[in-house]
Amino acid sequence: MSEIVESTSRTVEELNGLSREQLLDRFLELEPPTAAEFDGEFDGHGAPFLPNLDDYYRSVGLGAWLGKGYRLEPHRDWQGHGYNLWRTDDGVIRCFRFGWGLGTSMLDGRGCLVMHYSAFANHFGSLDLIDEIRRVEPGVYLGLASTREPSPLSPERGGPQGRALPSSFLLVGPCREWVGPDRPDAELE
């Protein structure tokens, strides 16, 4: 087990040492995950090239981003649904939900896991945030986040289909069982 943890830690460290351009190039080389890989909670690692992102999260009532939770269970037209995990002074909160499924990347038209925050009524949905994920190695995933217009999540113009240039994040896991959003009836349209 410690060999897996060491290998995962090395991979995360290596990826966190890459520039945004290098991460985008790496994403293009990767294969999509299967839907079955995404059931549970994943630890997250934000983009080192966006060092003030946690300040933005706090400004909208969240805390430090910890990762994401996924459930392979239909939600409307989506194959699954999920939420983000945040560390606050009061503990961990689970909110800012999304719908997800296997689809194609805006960057190259190849397969990836696609997450749409507009599947729920939340601030990220109002930004038209879309995340795309591909597998780096078993249990390690590279994600790209893009909003319709530049935002603190993807602050530069020049992305695919007229969107903002994607930023990146890493997910490791699943590390824990699915817990579910703190308020299951919130964020519904």
Domain ranges across the chain? 2-176
Tens digit of pLDDT for each residue in 160-184? 999 999 999 999 999 999 999 999 8
In 10 A of CB 68, how many CB atoms? 28
Contact 18, 45 (CB under 8 A): no
Asked whether the predicted pLDDT for residue 7 surpasses 80, the reply is: no
Model confidence pLDDT, tens digit, residues 99-137: 999 999 999 999 999 999 999 999 999 999 999 999 999
The chain-wide mean pLDDT, for the chain, equals 93
**DSSP 8-state assignment for residue 51:** T
DSSP at 18: S
Domain 2-176: give its CATH code: 2.40.128.580
pTM given for the model: 0.94
Strands (E), 20-150: 40-46, 64-71, 80-88, 91-104, 111-116, 130-137, 140-146
